[in-house]
Structure 1
């Protein structure tokens, strides 16, 4: 049974909703899934999981949230080599540049991102939440 951590930061609740749906999808696919606010996760925990799904919205000039999320992600980066990773988040402007840059960084860390990234504009609707759930299912297949 694969162990997956879904680790997120959310300012408005949109990425939190996405994270909950990714978590439910992974759980429904038979994974041992854990959902963490980024403040409850550390690099020391990364080795305990086969798959890590990181969720962070676009901030400022299309960057990761810098005060809470980015330091935890950066600390985990060296532990991603050989792992399956998912990345997701919501955005309100721009074209997803922050996610493309983030995906490139994850790949450079030596991780596999077999299902690409998932972005949703603003609040996920029912179809968006279903997409998030399927993303979680696919991460553990």
Structure 2
């Protein structure tokens, strides 16, 4: 059984809802899952998990949240080599450039990116979006 950390930052609750649904999906597939806000975990603690599902919404000009999540990810990314990683987040504008940039950073760190891309949902996830998150989590558990 894999041990997964779902680590996220959320301002409006959209990415938090995604995180919880991803965790539900992973647990339904047999994974042991801990859900943590980024402020509740250190990089060293995160690296103790078999797999990391990382969530952050698009901020500003389509970037990661800059005061908590970006510093955490900057410290983490140099140590992701060989780690299985899933990315997710919500957005309200733009075309997902923040996710493409983030995916590239994970690829550059030689991590294994689940699905080859992150899961993005526009604004608040509806029932279909939450089901998409659950399926994403279940798939990540078996990745």
TM-score category (smaller protein) = over 0.9
C-alpha separation between the residues in 2 aligned to 1:99 and 1:13? 18
Map of 1:133 onto structure 2: 134
Q: TM-score by structure 1 length?
A: 0.97
How many pairs are equivalent? Answer: 141
C-alpha separation between the residues in 2 aligned to 1:90 and 1:78? 25
Matches within 5 A, 1:37-116: 37-115=37-115, 116=117
Q: CA RMSD for the aligned pairs?
A: 0.7
Map of 1:2 onto structure 2: 2
Q: TM-score by structure 2 length?
A: 0.96
SS of equivalent residue, structure 1 residue 81: coil
> Any conservation in 2 of the 1:91–1:122 contact (CA below 8 Å)?
yes
Map of 2:34 onto structure 1: 34
SS of equivalent residue, structure 1 residue 63: coil
Moved over 3 A (4+): none
Shift in Å, 1:41: 1.2
Larger CA deviation: 67-76 vs 6-15: 67-76
SS of equivalent residue, structure 2 residue 64: coil
Long gaps (5+) in structure 1 = none
Map of 1:19 onto structure 2: 19
1:121 aligns with 2:118: no
Long gaps (5+) in structure 2 = none
